[in-house]
Structure 1
Amino acid sequence: MKFSAILAVASVLSAAVAHPLQHKRAINDTALEEAIPASTGKKTGDNIQTSYGKPFAVYQPKAFVISMFELERDPWLKALDFIHNITVPGLSPLYPTIHCTTNYTICQITTGEGEINAAASVTALTLNPLFDLTKTYFLIAGIAGGEPQYTTLGGVTFAKYAVQVGLEYQLDFLDYNNTNPDWISGYIPYGTDNQDTYPGNVYGTEVFEVNEKLRDRAVELALKVDLNNGTEANAKFRALYNETAARGLPSVYKCDVLTSDNYFTGNRLGDYFANLTKLMSNGSATYCSTAQEDNASLEAFTRLDKYGLVDFDRVVVMRTISDFSRPPPSLSNDTYKFFFDSNQGGIDASLENLVLAGTPLIHDIITNWDKVYEKGQKYSSKNYVGDIYGTLGGTPDFGKSSFEIA
């Protein structure tokens, strides 16, 4: 072996030994199912299952912040000492780097916007052999549109349910208005021919439920901080609404998030998706914020939890409100002007409140890691957690008894 190679190996080994994170892992053997009954007379083969352990992982962060684009990322980079940059294959070409604090206990990833980017980036992170994420807590922290009935500009929402609303048929207005004038939009759930019926077939990503007890802990901590109330322009725009929540100052709310790559707005679509949220969650979820990524990220976490690489029970979904999802009464007949020409006062408050409302949970995790969070028992879920299939065990409290798998 060349001397340079010896030095390289020694450097890697010394780094592993000197690294502040502990390395307590068991190497999983590759499992081979040797005997498969062939009584049916059909040809069968071996079922080879690969190892999913990460015995050589270097980084074991206690908390991971998930941002979707640079405006959501930058407040975190300013607020915490993210001095380490780790490039990971498979991340967004725009955001190829993981940022970590001095001792690697807190890290941050930017997925890129939209469902495809989120799913691809979270999967690349969770499969990367450098990271042991089996005990990591994930805070999805992004900005969103907000329903004026439940929140306001700068408000902070923590979700229990995430509902994907883009998986539907869509008819052009001119094609349904004469035949179905009572419809409030051209959307129809898959496998049905009307808007009030649960989908006849599903893809599995339509609804996710996260740990309510951990969500409530995040809310409890966030309620103790003083939020950024926004600008005078924010205040003027809030005053255009009749709803108490919309007119008030930002606060912290327990309500649920929608996912759609389609950036929608307006009263008719808002009403339809509010109804759909109730339908998809069997009446349990309350739609208050819009997003483009959350169901995609939660699907990746579900798949990786199934093989022990992450713990879905340790995921929190937070969205702060950068804009209203529907117009005030004065613009109710001019959604175009509301969407493209109105000045809601900027999104600075929503960006700052990401850190203000999210940091207390991050600090609580770090400060009380040994006594509370490492084992995860105190804030372990009592509600069902997971997808519509029951992939992670248990019986979903949403959906219906049977449906076709699309």
Structure 2
Amino acid sequence: MKFGLVCAVGSVLSTVLAQPLFEKRAINETALEDAIPASTGAKGGDNIQASYGKPFAIYQPKAFVVSMFELERDPWLEALDFVHNITLPGLSPIYPTVHCTTNYTICQITTGEGEINAAASVTALTMNPLFDLSKTYFLIAGIAGGEPKYTTIGGVTFAKYAVQVGLEYQFDYTDYHNTNANWTSGYIPYGTDNQDTYPGNVYGTEVFEVNEKLRDRAVELALKVDLNNGTKQNAAFRALYNETAASSLPSVYKCDVLTSDNYFTGNALGDYFANLTKLMTNGSATYCSTAQEDNASLEVFTRLDKYGLVDFDRVIVMRTISDFSRPPPSLFNNTVKFFFDSDQGGIGASLDNLVLAGTPIIHDILTNWDKVYESGKKYSSKNYVGDIFGTLGGEPNFGKSSFDIA
């Protein structure tokens, strides 16, 4: 894999990174014990709550890159001066180390793939007493499958919504095609008996909405860079598609991400999950990338924002497109061949573009920390942010008035 393009980005940050080493903070006033909201136990009795400040935190990074596996991590390690390695309990046994730059202003974590790994690793990081992350900006930066209607191989997507699509009933095709021939797939939302009804039962992780204003700033900056356009075979495979976005060179797009541990592909599932995305967000979201971890990480950020340990308003979700999520017309009738045997040209462009498109917002955060980003006011959200329950306050612009909570 060639990292020539991403390595050059390191020089852009050189002036920002050439700062004195951090000083240990004497006290962290993120949250005080007497600020804990009062509540009662399940049966109305006492409810003893722990304090949640981190008075002896040492590391206070301004930006944190969240990768999911080795190939997403390595371009960042090549591009920036991650010279400090901090091993934390609770991280993935494959990726047990947090990496930080010379002055600890930028750090990076690799969670491990899938929802369970992401939730466990992000929890271990954010609960660790060494880190004060109350003002840290998190860039979730991974690769994903892409919908040809909205993006292409090497394309960069920044999401406003993350929709978890794996929480459903599932029937095998042989069990429903004779009795329910109109079904798009064998998936049915929980608590319903058809595919067009909002789930009756929810777990609370089905939909997250992140800060649109901060997302738009990241997009504005990313649009100014030259992306890696990929290989000749990438170009040849793009040309097999009729959609303008798919057949074009990669660019930066505002569209939304799906989370599922089930690695799905093809037209039938693509159509179903596209419709489900609209259903789950009351028509607001546009599905263009499919990944495995984002809702898990966002659930952790939501829970810990409630106790002042992170700021959900400072989370950005970026996915670059490594492959198409459905076949071109020439392979419409052979999705299995498309998935296993077609040569899409490699994923190098998507890996390079993680750093090329993600670095501008990180550089902006560091350069304008004192005047803009530390307070968070300029790019504070104007839209609703949080989960389907309204955990962080406000009224979700998706969902319905009430649910059966599983």
Q: TM-score range by the shorter chain?
A: over 0.9
1:151-300 equivalences in 2 (<5 Å): 151-300=151-300
Whole-Å separation in 2 of the counterparts to 1:126 and 1:361: 22
Q: Secondary structure at the match of 1:65?
A: strand
Matched with 2:120 is: 120
Residues 340 and 154 of structure 1: is their aligned pair in 2 closer, same or farther, counting only changes over 3 Å? same
Whole-Å separation in 2 of the counterparts to 1:19 and 1:126: 19
Whole-Å separation in 1 of the counterparts to 2:238 and 2:114: 28
Whole-Å separation in 1 of the counterparts to 2:290 and 2:39: 48
Segment drifting more, 170-179 vs 63-72:
170-179
Cα distance, 1:22 vs structure 2: 4.7
Contact 1:21 1:60 in 2 (8 A): no
Contact 2:162 2:259 in 1 (8 A): yes
Cα distance, 1:46 vs structure 2: 2.7
Report the AA paired with residue 59 of structure 2. Answer: Y
1:173-211 superposed Cα distances (whole Å, 9 cap, x missing partner): 011101110111000000000000000010000000000
Contact 1:158 1:317 in 2 (8 A): yes
Whole-Å separation in 1 of the counterparts to 2:326 and 2:335: 8
Whole-Å separation in 2 of the counterparts to 1:341 and 1:370: 51
Report the AA paired with residue 359 of structure 1. Answer: T
Matched with 1:100 is: 100
Whole-Å separation in 2 of the counterparts to 1:159 and 1:27: 28
Matched with 1:143 is: 143
Cα distance, 1:109 vs structure 2: 0.1
Cα distance, 1:47 vs structure 2: 1.9
1:74-110 superposed Cα distances (whole Å, 9 cap, x missing partner): 0000000000000010000000000000000000000
Matched, 1:25 2:39: no
Cα distance, 1:32 vs structure 2: 11
Cα distance, 1:20 vs structure 2: 3.5
Contact 1:162 1:259 in 2 (8 A): yes
Q: Secondary structure at the match of 2:90?
A: strand
Report the AA paired with residue 270 of structure 2. Answer: G
Report the AA paired with residue 353 of structure 1. Answer: N
Matched with 2:77 is: 77
Cα distance, 1:324 vs structure 2: 0.0
Whole-Å separation in 2 of the counterparts to 1:395 and 1:44: 27
Residues 29 and 305 of structure 1: is their aligned pair in 2 closer, same or farther, counting only changes over 3 Å? closer
Residues 184 and 31 of structure 1: is their aligned pair in 2 closer, same or farther, counting only changes over 3 Å? same
Contact 1:32 1:48 in 2 (8 A): no
Could you say which structure has the larger radius of gyration?
1
Contact 1:209 1:384 in 2 (8 A): yes
Q: Secondary structure at the match of 1:145?
A: strand
Report the AA paired with residue 46 of structure 1. Answer: D
Contact 2:31 2:308 in 1 (8 A): no
Contact 1:32 1:46 in 2 (8 A): no
Whole-Å separation in 1 of the counterparts to 2:128 and 2:86: 11
Report the AA paired with residue 28 of structure 2. Answer: R
Matched with 2:14 is: none
Matched, 1:348 2:348: yes
Cα distance, 1:43 vs structure 2: 7.9
1:37-76 equivalences in 2 (<5 Å): 45-76=45-76
Whole-Å separation in 2 of the counterparts to 1:361 and 1:104: 17
Cα distance, 1:25 vs structure 2: 2.0
Report the AA paired with residue 306 of structure 2. Answer: K
Number of corresponding residues: 386
Contact 1:67 1:110 in 2 (8 A): yes
TM-score (norm 1): 0.92
1:252-276 superposed Cα distances (whole Å, 9 cap, x missing partner): 0000000000000000000000000
Q: Secondary structure at the match of 1:89?
A: coil
Report the AA paired with residue 112 of structure 1. Answer: G
Whole-Å separation in 1 of the counterparts to 2:131 and 2:65: 14
Percent identity over the alignment? Answer: 84
Whole-Å separation in 1 of the counterparts to 2:199 and 2:45: 36
Whole-Å separation in 2 of the counterparts to 1:84 and 1:32: 34
Whole-Å separation in 2 of the counterparts to 1:314 and 1:295: 15
1:35-58 superposed Cα distances (whole Å, 9 cap, x missing partner): 9999xxx98643211110000000
